[in-house]
A and B are shown apart, each in its own frame.
Chain A
Amino acid sequence: MRGLQKKIAGHLLGLIATILIGGFLSASLVRLAPGFEVDERELDPHLSAQSLQALRDSRRQDENIFHFYLHYLSQAARGDFGKSVALGQPVRTLLRDRAPLTMRLIAIGLTLSWSLTVTFALSAAWLRLSIYDTATTMLSGVFLCIPAAVLALLSVLWNVPGSLAIALIVFPGTYRYTRNLSLKAYAQPHILAARAKGLSEARILFWHVVPVVAPQLLAVAGVSVSMAIGATIPVEALCGFAGIGQLAWQAAMARDLPLLVNITVLVTLVTLLANSGADVIGSVIRGQEA
């Protein structure tokens, strides 16, 4: 128990440090990106010299990255995440409005992806048919080769849900690892012995295979969350879904510093929580087994 508490505390410290560093790196990259100090509106011939200057001054407020980041952190501590430069709305509102769609896409995408993964991987390990194994491996290889943007465009063209595109983007990554784990588990001597004794496949699966592969699969599950988050950017941008992925794309195009920093922090937080959560649960399972 004490070990577990230590582990959780360690994860929390790591999480805070990573978020702080990640946010700062993101801010620095945006600040150094070409075109940071300019605004498309500068080309509007209607603007007077004074308005143009005001526009430029507002952009230059964030010129000093250390000043910006410290100011951002102090404001964020009070629940104020700043205002989007490009969209002119509070970042908090933008994220709050768009998070449900992205969370739904990710949840459905991951459910579909893991359903496909578990079905194909376990059936491949259970059937032990080389043709079937080759076919499923090739299928995952095909999806691995197709760029995420192409899968997103196909989903638009064929009018299929964007969550399916996310599932197919994540699937190759999870499938290969799960398949290898399952094959390894099924090849263990005690499972061969159980089969020889005539134990049912269901009993073998749930009593002997799942406990062996579960901790490692949990780690893959944690990674798959970050893969799904990454996939939302092309999917939402190309399918026209008003989620955080689309917002990230728009923010990057507009060099929207406050928005990009917040999205980076949010994505880092979710990714780390998913991975740390998987790690802690895995430790608990391993502890119980021991």
Chain B
Amino acid sequence: MKRHNRQFRCPALSAPTAKALAVLVFCLVSICTRSLAQGGGLRFCLHAEPKTFDPLKVDDDASGAIRYLTGGVLVRENRQTQQLEPGLALSWKVSSDGREISFRLRSGVSFSDGTPFSAEDVAYTVQQLMDPALHSPTGDVFRSGAGSVETKVISQTQISIRFPAPVAGLAALFDQVAIMSVRSPKKEMAVLGPFMVGDYKPGSSVVLNRNPYYWKTDAQGRKLPYLDSIHLDIQPNRDVELLRFKREELDLINSLDSEYFDKVSASSPQVVHDAGPSLDSEQLWFNQVAKAPIPGYKRNWFRSTAFRRAISQAINRDDLSRVVYHGHAQPALGPFSPANKFWFNANLKPQIYSPETALKALQGEGFRMENGTLKDKEGNEVVFSIITNAGNKQREHMAVLIQDDLQKIGIHVNVVTLDFPSLIERMTQTFDYEAIILGLTNVDLDPNNEMNVWLSSSENHQWNPSQKTPETEWEAEIDRLMREQASAADLNKRKEAFDRVQEIVAEQQPFIFLINKNALSAVSTSVRGAAPVILWPQTYWNAESLMVAGK
């Protein structure tokens, strides 16, 4: 066997060629190093057009996402630990009466256009935010009493803010307040967060570029964020979003529904994440409004605690979770899910599904079963309709399952779906409905942000809004407890009061809480550093520490 030994000779390089090659190699190495050191571009979808880039006017999810990624805040609530962490403020102190908060600020921080940051910017932001004419949801949560807010700039790095009345959970509310510059000519486009708006194509996309002046560094002292940019495609259609994710045109989906979760999971189990029960709940409630255009005998059923509790008992929540959410939901116990580590009342008992007990309880109230149909004392058949928003497959499906469950105790339910504006009109203006299934998207941990849901005088007290005086004793008690927790400075006392509210709600069932959906998301394997959590924004809460490989 003949063996050929080949010898390769490197041709002699001329000096200019060698120099050119060296430059080329240097450039390639620089490019590679730069892309590793920074972290590429992340791409995901917003589901609607952002209404504003002004962080103080944010009242929609898309604008909220941009504010989260671009806004610099004094205090940041860590979405993983649910604890407050220093942001632009190194430290803060709330006065014993809960009316004043003082911040010590970082020095040497600049806005994205290079304008220096100081206490005057904080004062300006708070004054703008609290302008009554702005009607900002972010500002409204600070309004606990009549009067104006006073800001006192002590030095370039120290400021105190005094409110006319105690504000519960005051420090945590600053998580939503993106500081604006008083001096920058770029106004709200000068930001202190990790990214800044680079390009906006209406209806199509928003590109966020890394803020070169961002103050934060990682443990090794490298400047954050790692990502060079975030490309936010405006894509209302969830099917298209899923398809694009599968085609690897997107890096993450922040919120998946259970059906899509299973579809993605079947083909790529490594990209989906189920972070467990979220703060969001789905609930059913009956119309208890006195002037509602419904028959009086039906209003009497809906106002009866025993009736509401029996309905709650007759609903099989495990089935709702298993069938509708494919197991990616947990039966709900009350207003807050166990995901809210501090405020959830762990003493609440799960609602046991028992149609027999429910029927007995109803019979105890004078209802009777005749030929498989439940009738009240006056002989009226127990029939009512549940409305929900058309197009929400899960709610429609839940309504049908509840219809089946209640049929077992002789109650006939009609399921009606309406488009969202019609549903809101019935719910808030005409009160022309009997029962509703709807969800509460909860982004706040503190119950104080739900004052407008629980106070009987509030317009968002959905089962019976705008009561002049509480119409029931238990609503009066909830009012008292909610006010008590709002004015208490001691966190444990607040917790005690809100625990009692949760117990009253579980006893009285004004909202029949059905399930808490799990926080489902999908993150491409090319995204490094992702750790999806239950709190919004589940997948990109730590956007400054994310990297995208191979881009």
Chain A residues proximal to chain B, CB less than 8 Å: 33-52, 54-55, 87-89, 93-94, 97-98, 153, 156-157, 159, 237-240, 242-243, 246-247, 250, 253-255
Q: Which residue of A lies closest to B459 (CB)?
A: A52
* Cross-chain contact of B421 among A35, A47, A156 (Cβ < 8 A): A35
Shortest CB distance A49–B (Å): 7
Q: How far is the CA of A159 from the CA of B240 in the complex (A)?
A: 10
Considering the complex of A and B, which 6 residue pairs feature the smallest CB-CB distances, nearest first? A35-B421, A242-B203, A51-B135, A46-B137, A34-B422, A48-B140
Known contacts A43-B424, A242-B204; 5 additional CB pairs below 8 A are A34-B418, A35-B420, A41-B137, A44-B59, A49-B459
Given A35-B424, A45-B460, A156-B240, decide whether A50 and B419 contact each other with a Cβ distance below 8 A.
no
Q: Assess whether A98 is in contact with B140, with CB atoms less than 8 Å apart.
A: no
Q: Assess whether A42 is in contact with B428, with CB atoms less than 8 Å apart.
A: yes
Q: Assess whether A36 is in contact with B421, with CB atoms less than 8 Å apart.
A: yes
* Cross-chain contact of A40 among B132, B234, B420, B459 (Cβ < 8 A): B420
Q: Assess whether A37 is in contact with B239, with CB atoms less than 8 Å apart.
A: no
Contact sample, A vs B, 8 pairs, CB 8 Å cutoff: A33-B421, A38-B428, A42-B460, A46-B141, A51-B135, A97-B203, A98-B202, A238-B239
Q: Which residue of B lies closest to A247 (CB)?
A: B203
Q: Assess whether A250 is in contact with B421, with CB atoms less than 8 Å apart.
A: no
* Cross-chain contact of A238 among B135, B201, B237, B451 (Cβ < 8 A): B237
Q: How far is the CA of A37 from the CA of B430 in the complex (A)?
A: 11
* Cross-chain contact of A250 among B236, B449, B458 (Cβ < 8 A): B236
Q: How far is the CA of A44 from the CA of B236 in the complex (A)?
A: 21
Q: How far is the CA of A159 from the CA of B239 in the complex (A)?
A: 13
Q: Which residue of B lies closest to A255 (CB)?
A: B421
Q: Assess whether B424 is in contact with A246, with CB atoms less than 8 Å apart.
A: no
Q: How far is the CA of A159 from the CA of B449 in the complex (A)?
A: 44
Chain B residues whose CB sits within 8 angstroms of the CB of A254 once the complex forms: 421
Shortest CB distance B267–A (Å): 15
B527 at the interface (CB under 8 A from A): no
Chain B residues whose CB sits within 8 angstroms of the CB of A153 once the complex forms: 239
Chain A residues whose CB sits within 8 angstroms of the CB of B204 once the complex forms: 242
Q: Assess whether A46 is in contact with B138, with CB atoms less than 8 Å apart.
A: yes
Given A34-B421, A38-B421, A87-B49, decide whether A50 and B132 contact each other with a Cβ distance below 8 A.
yes
Given A35-B422, A239-B240, A240-B235, decide whether A47 and B202 contact each other with a Cβ distance below 8 A.
no
Chain A residues whose CB sits within 8 angstroms of the CB of B420 once the complex forms: 35, 40, 253
Given A242-B202, A242-B234, A254-B421, decide whether A88 and B51 contact each other with a Cβ distance below 8 A.
yes
Shortest CB distance B376–A (Å): 31
* Cross-chain contact of B140 among A47, A157, A238, A240 (Cβ < 8 A): A47
B450 at the interface (CB under 8 A from A): yes
Chain A residues whose CB sits within 8 angstroms of the CB of B271 once the complex forms: none
B452 at the interface (CB under 8 A from A): yes
